[in-house]
Amino acid sequence: MKAVVERLVQEHSLTKQDLISLLSCCDSATFSYLRQEATRIARQRFGFGIFLRGLIEVSSYCRNDCFYCGLRRSNRSAERYRLSDEQILRCCEDGYRAGLRTFVLQGGEDGAFTDARLERLIGSIKHLYADAAITLSLGERSVESLARLRRAGADRYLLRHEAADATLYAALHPSDMSYSNRLQTIEQLKELGFQTGVGMMVGVPHQSVESLAEDLLYISRVQPQMIGIGPFIPHRQTPFAQSQAGDVRLTLMVMAIARLLAPKALIPATTALATLSNEGVRQGVLSGANVVMPNISPLEVRGKYDIYEGKSQAYNQNIESVKRLGAELESIGYHIDLSRGDF
Ligand code: SAH
């Protein structure tokens, strides 16, 4: 297996068969070697700095019905909320004061966030905090809509592809959601000049090692600027309520492979990883991650952006803990980098 990892490091690519062998291999020597190389490659480009992104969960309303997500429209017991522009701007104000220079507006696909409203909001944020980047993560929108948001000043867009394998995609989403539309939207984001993020969950029901290999090949082909990879965590009010959570070790392995396939990408240690493991942030960084996204949503809505079980208690994911995060990173020789951290 060492030779396979060496090939990955040298060539930044692997065949599907090699990816499958690597993902199926569970010896700890290969695991450590892979992570060691992933962190070495990340440090070559980024040093020991870890970028912060302030995550604002703007709405828990969603028109979609993804089988894995607690915000799915069929979940009648979900508590729905939507932040006002004033609330969002207050989050940015607090975040900016804490040193954050990227604001990520994430939410369900909520029709109340019209293009006109988002244009105004993006304009206000850019006017007040000209040196900050805006990342949107609002699901699929038309190319016209995305073009307007880009023109209004949004810099980046996160839209996880969720599954590069069409059969798996169909097993995770209702039939009114389309695999080809998802991938096409990602292409459009790139063409519009967004720094674009893709990604997937690890350990989601019906996912095989082959499908994970497909995801990694997709990442290698697209060379996205950002890659979000986190473990799947079941939510009680979804069809996957009885499924097991994704494996932390496999998640770290997939992150390390993604780092080696896309050496320049911005890769977060995700909230889902931190939810499953108190060590999530550090373990993520030690697998090649170089971004952490503290949650800066208003405290009163924190529990309601309930995409998976235990999320609201996620350790280390809020603005109050930026200092603690700094100490945590320092314990493994890293530090917080408060610059914008563009690709
Ligand atoms: N509506 C937006 C944002 C979705 S939330 C969009 O469609 O892009 C961001 C990510 O959380 C999703 O892309 C998904 O990969 C992840 N997610 C959703 N449910 C999850 C679960 N149960 N466990 C782990 N991650 C989950």
pLDDT tens-place string over residues 187-215: 999 999 999 999 999 999 999 999 999 99
Between 311 and 131, where is the model more confident?
131
Overall average pLDDT of the 6-31 stretch: 95
Residue 241 CA to residue 333 CA, distance in Å, equals 39
- In which order are the strands placed within the sheet that holds 291-292? 291-292, 49-52, 335-337
Residues lining ligand 1, CB < 6 A? Answer: 68-69, 106, 108-109, 137, 139, 159-160, 162, 201, 230, 232-233, 235, 272, 307-308
Q: Which of 55, 59, 68, 204 to mutate to test the pocket of ligand 1 (most atoms within 8 A of CB)?
A: 68
Tell me if residue 292 falls in helix, strand or coil: strand
- Computed over every residue of the chain, the mean pLDDT equals 95
Summarised one tens digit per residue, pLDDT across range 40-77 is 999 999 999 999 999 999 999 999 999 999 999 999 99
**Which atom of ligand 1 sits closest to the CA of residue 233?**
23
pLDDT above 50 for 315: no
Instruction: Assess whether pLDDT exceeds 90 at residue 319.
Output: no
Pocket test for ligand 1, best of 72, 194, 226, 307 (most atoms within 8 A of CB): 307
Q: Partners of 107 in the beta sheet?
A: 59
Give the model's confidence band at 141: pLDDT under 50 very low, under 70 low, under 90 confident, else very high.
Answer: very high
pTM, whole model, 2 decimals? 0.97
Amino acid at 1: M
CA-proximal residue: ligand 1, atom 11 (nearest): 307
**Distance, CA of 338 to CA of 67 (rounded, Å):** 36
Q: Where are the beta strands (DSSP E) in the chain?
A: 49-52, 54-59, 102-107, 133-137, 156-158, 195-202, 226-231, 291-292, 335-337
